Chains A and B, each alone.
Chain A
Amino acid sequence: MSRKEVVPLLIGVVLVVVAALVPYVANGYWLSIALTAMMYIALSTSWALFSGPTHYISLASGAFFGVGGYLVATGMSDYNQSFWLMMAISALVATVLAGLIGLATLRLSGVYFVIFTLGLAEMIRNLVSWVQNNFLGSRGLYVLTDFTEAHIYWMLLAVATAVFIFGWLIDRSRLGFALKIIGNDETVARHVGINTAWTKVILFMSTGFFAALVGAIIAPRYSYIEPNLVFSPELSFLVVIMALLGGTHRLWGPLVGVIPFTLIWEAISIWIPNFTTLFLGLAFLTIVYFIPNGFVGLFEKLRAKSRSWQ
């Protein structure tokens, strides 16, 4: 490994250690904010691994998140299975689901994919309700565990770390190289012999896997699961906006989008509670008109400018 690679790795290790210590210093309130931020760091970073290089905007995070939360709740509440088993099953189910969806839609051009993923969470929510109503019945799904917020936070940190390691490995692999070529010009990629459909499907499956894991981990925090609470379209939009705000062309880009966004969101919730949706819109306009490459792009542009003056 060259020095250029060791330094970011060391910074990463230090950041993970610092993040792991948060529950020891933060009180309940700040921990719950850190938990929310950690959830979106994992979701947005994993989202950006697929959408960053391919430019396919996926609004399916809410669907996979919901699959994770809902399966954990059903398994624990109705079938007395352990949390860990259900977490593994839900991640597997979401990965297979993402694979099927990917195969069906990723051969299409971008806009069809966006529309399909937008409807996906709603479709799965209705499907789940239909199955529950006609075959399973329901007595209310309770996820009662002894996990504290600190435990849930650490689990999310572990998932986020795994996303970063996965992203780092992808970046160094043939797969990552293939993705970059697809992002630049899909026709060229096909002509040089890259199986573009499979490359995209594999990455899309990884976002399904991680989003379901996050949903599964959040389920004990919600304690009582209803389909319309876990299959939330708002979640899908928040993930996209936070990732774009940070910048998707660097692995750590979404990270610098999530943290300020979560803090501003919280401040608005306290001081002007009815303006969070307006803020969401403004953030989106800012991205489109002023910082198309996110904070990271802005930062890199400024640095390039200051260098050219020297």
Chain B
Amino acid sequence: MNVKQTANLLGQVAARSVAAVVLLAGLALNAHAADPIKIGAVAPKTGPLAGGATVTQWPNIEMWVKEVNARGGLNMKDGQRMLELIEYDDKTNPGEHMKAVQRLATQDKVDFIVAPYGTGFNVAAAPIYAKYGYPQIAVSAISDKMDELTSRYPSLFFTLGTTTAFVNGVKDILVGMRDAGKIGNKIAMVNVADAFGIELAEAARPIFKDAGFELVYDKSYPLGTPDLSPIMKGAKAAAPDAFVAWSYPPDTFGLTEQAIIEDLDVGAFYTAVATCFPAFGQKFGSKIDGVFGAGGVNPDTDKMKAYFARHKELTGKDADYWASANTYVSLQILEQAIEGVGEVDRNAVTQYIKDNTFDTIMGDIKFENQVSHKYWTVGQWQDGVFRGVASSNMEGAAEIKEKSGWN
């Protein structure tokens, strides 16, 4: 083989290689059109908040991804694109959480991220979401500092309400019952001595007082205390007309159990977080008929009926009667905003969320200064369903049912 032949051969090889590369690139481009949209999610699967997250957060993400993919993906300008979910456990630890969000943003290069679970985690992760421009539609985050937070982080949205709104919801219910002559004006109030419980109790003291109520019992108990019977005995001894507990999941169950044992005779009984869990209804059955709690839903609309059925069918679990629906709504908003923009342009999607109204299972949702003011604040167990009885701008609040003992 002389030099010319060699050169010729090399030339041919080179030409074929180029052709092959072009062909491959073409394939890659074609493949790119059908590439899935990567969705990241970080929330607790272990640690103290895992109990709540596995009821409220994870099943809705699973359900949403399944639903979207079952109909062929999201409708984008360049055709339909499926969703690919990448999920990490933050172990209920803010440091781990932030590492995982950074991993999603820079290693996995996900297109969108589902907002975290828990107030602290939403606040802690907000700078990272803002840095990479991910829209963050926070659900399980209740704060009285929303204005400051949203002006600091332009891609952060709130949907579940403020601390003050929750206390006011309870106050309105109690005032209504008092004015109707169903209860007197003596309230026994207890709270879990942890950030959330202390904050709510602090907000409630002046609000109850201004509404003309008398706090005949005001005590706190440490987070995770196994024995709540002294608290309930003390409350009973104060002979209140209403009992209000700013409580977390384990003590919501514990206090209710003690109230049944002690046969606490009050016209209104309220426990905060987890009263809306299906497990609460299953555990106490008809005994807790008439009990109030944080949250609520209107289960009678067609959309909500369909949502509960699909949730059970796709995840095998029952949705809770509060933030489950809000979590799903946040994903609907994200979905409609992505489809509205038609491409993976996060800044455009964030702007779209600010500018538009969204058709969701909880009705039309619109953000004012990045905050949605449509949410339930108080619900009540009525014949095995936890119905919303007080809300901010929600329709279909149920009539309050009078509580008659613990049977």
Using Cβ atoms and an 8 Å threshold, which residues of chain A touch B91?
Answer: 276
Given A140-B199, A273-B88, A276-B91, A224 and B124 contact (CB-CB distance below 8 Å): yes
Produce 1/0 per residue, B183-220, CB < 8 A to A: 00000000101110011011100000000000000001
In the complex, residue of chain A having the shortest beta-carbon distance to the beta carbon of B104: A29
Using Cβ atoms and an 8 Å threshold, which residues of chain B touch A137?
Answer: 198, 202
**Residue A199 lies at the interface, judged by CB distance under 8 Å to chain B:** no
The reply to whether A133 and B198 contact each other, CB–CB distance below 8 Å, is yes
Using Cβ atoms and an 8 Å threshold, which residues of chain A touch B305?
Answer: none
**Residue B150 lies at the interface, judged by CB distance under 8 Å to chain A:** no
Using Cβ atoms and an 8 Å threshold, which residues of chain A touch B143?
Answer: 140
Using Cβ atoms and an 8 Å threshold, which residues of chain A touch B191?
Answer: 133
Q: How far is the CA of A137 from the CA of B223 in the complex (A)?
A: 16
The reply to whether B123 and A142 contact each other, CB–CB distance below 8 Å, is yes
Q: Which of B106, B131, B195 contacts A226 (CB 8 A)?
A: B195
Most buried by A among B93, B95, B126, B132: B95
Task: Report, as a range, how many residues of chain A touch the other chain.
Answer: 35 or more
**Residue B45 lies at the interface, judged by CB distance under 8 Å to chain A:** yes
**Residue A185 lies at the interface, judged by CB distance under 8 Å to chain B:** no
**Residue B404 lies at the interface, judged by CB distance under 8 Å to chain A:** no
Number of residues on chain B facing chain A (CB within 8 A): 46
* Least distance between A237 CB and chain B CB atoms (Å): 13
The reply to whether A28 and B124 contact each other, CB–CB distance below 8 Å, is no
**Residue B349 lies at the interface, judged by CB distance under 8 Å to chain A:** no
In the complex, residue of chain B having the shortest beta-carbon distance to the beta carbon of A134: B220
Most buried by B among A29, A126, A137, A266: A29
The reply to whether B152 and A144 contact each other, CB–CB distance below 8 Å, is yes
The reply to whether B144 and A221 contact each other, CB–CB distance below 8 Å, is no
Using Cβ atoms and an 8 Å threshold, which residues of chain B touch A133?
Answer: 191, 193, 198, 201, 220
Q: Which of A28, A222, A228 contacts B106 (CB 8 A)?
A: A28
**Residue B48 lies at the interface, judged by CB distance under 8 Å to chain A:** yes
The reply to whether B102 and A29 contact each other, CB–CB distance below 8 Å, is yes
Q: How far is the CA of A31 from the CA of B120 in the complex (A)?
A: 22
The reply to whether B194 and A228 contact each other, CB–CB distance below 8 Å, is yes
Q: How far is the CA of A232 from the CA of B93 in the complex (A)?
A: 9
The reply to whether B98 and A129 contact each other, CB–CB distance below 8 Å, is no
Q: Which of A27, A32, A132 contacts B99 (CB 8 A)?
A: A32
In the complex, residue of chain A having the shortest beta-carbon distance to the beta carbon of B100: A269
In the complex, residue of chain A having the shortest beta-carbon distance to the beta carbon of B123: A224
The reply to whether A222 and B120 contact each other, CB–CB distance below 8 Å, is yes
**Residue B107 lies at the interface, judged by CB distance under 8 Å to chain A:** yes
**Residue B299 lies at the interface, judged by CB distance under 8 Å to chain A:** no
Using Cβ atoms and an 8 Å threshold, which residues of chain B touch A130?
Answer: 193, 222
Q: Which of B103, B127, B202 contacts A270 (CB 8 A)?
A: B103
A residues 189-224 near B (Cβ < 8 Å) are: 218, 221-224
Using Cβ atoms and an 8 Å threshold, which residues of chain A touch B195?
Answer: 138, 140-141, 226-227
**Residue B356 lies at the interface, judged by CB distance under 8 Å to chain A:** no
The reply to whether A36 and B95 contact each other, CB–CB distance below 8 Å, is yes
In the complex, residue of chain A having the shortest beta-carbon distance to the beta carbon of B220: A133
Q: How far is the CA of A29 from the CA of B101 in the complex (A)?
A: 8
Q: How far is the CA of A204 from the CA of B163 in the complex (A)?
A: 42
**Residue B179 lies at the interface, judged by CB distance under 8 Å to chain A:** no
The reply to whether A228 and B48 contact each other, CB–CB distance below 8 Å, is yes
**Residue A169 lies at the interface, judged by CB distance under 8 Å to chain B:** no
**Residue B359 lies at the interface, judged by CB distance under 8 Å to chain A:** no
Q: How far is the CA of A278 from the CA of B191 in the complex (A)?
A: 36
Q: How far is the CA of A46 from the CA of B194 in the complex (A)?
A: 31
Using Cβ atoms and an 8 Å threshold, which residues of chain B touch A222?
Answer: 94-95, 120, 124
**Residue A114 lies at the interface, judged by CB distance under 8 Å to chain B:** no
Given A138-B198, A273-B89, A28 and B119 contact (CB-CB distance below 8 Å): no
**Residue B96 lies at the interface, judged by CB distance under 8 Å to chain A:** yes
Using Cβ atoms and an 8 Å threshold, which residues of chain A touch B364?
Answer: none
The reply to whether B120 and A224 contact each other, CB–CB distance below 8 Å, is yes
**Residue B20 lies at the interface, judged by CB distance under 8 Å to chain A:** no
Q: How far is the CA of A237 from the CA of B193 in the complex (A)?
A: 26
Using Cβ atoms and an 8 Å threshold, which residues of chain A touch B288?
Answer: none
Using Cβ atoms and an 8 Å threshold, which residues of chain B touch A228?
Answer: 48, 194, 223
**Residue A229 lies at the interface, judged by CB distance under 8 Å to chain B:** yes
Using Cβ atoms and an 8 Å threshold, which residues of chain B touch A129?
Answer: 193-194, 198, 222-223
* Least distance between A184 CB and chain B CB atoms (Å): 38
A residues 255-288 near B (Cβ < 8 Å) are: 266, 269-270, 273-274, 276
In the complex, residue of chain B having the shortest beta-carbon distance to the beta carbon of A132: B198
**Residue B12 lies at the interface, judged by CB distance under 8 Å to chain A:** no
The reply to whether B94 and A229 contact each other, CB–CB distance below 8 Å, is yes
**Residue B148 lies at the interface, judged by CB distance under 8 Å to chain A:** yes
**Residue A139 lies at the interface, judged by CB distance under 8 Å to chain B:** yes
Report A's interface with B, CB cutoff 8 A: 27-33, 36, 126, 129-130, 132-134, 137-142, 144, 148, 218, 221-229, 232, 234, 266, 269-270, 273-274, 276
Known A133-B191, A224-B119; 18 more pairs at CB < 8 Å: A28-B105, A29-B107, A36-B99, A129-B223, A132-B198, A133-B201, A137-B202, A138-B198, A139-B199, A223-B123, A223-B126, A225-B120, A229-B93, A229-B94, A234-B93, A266-B99, A269-B88, A276-B91
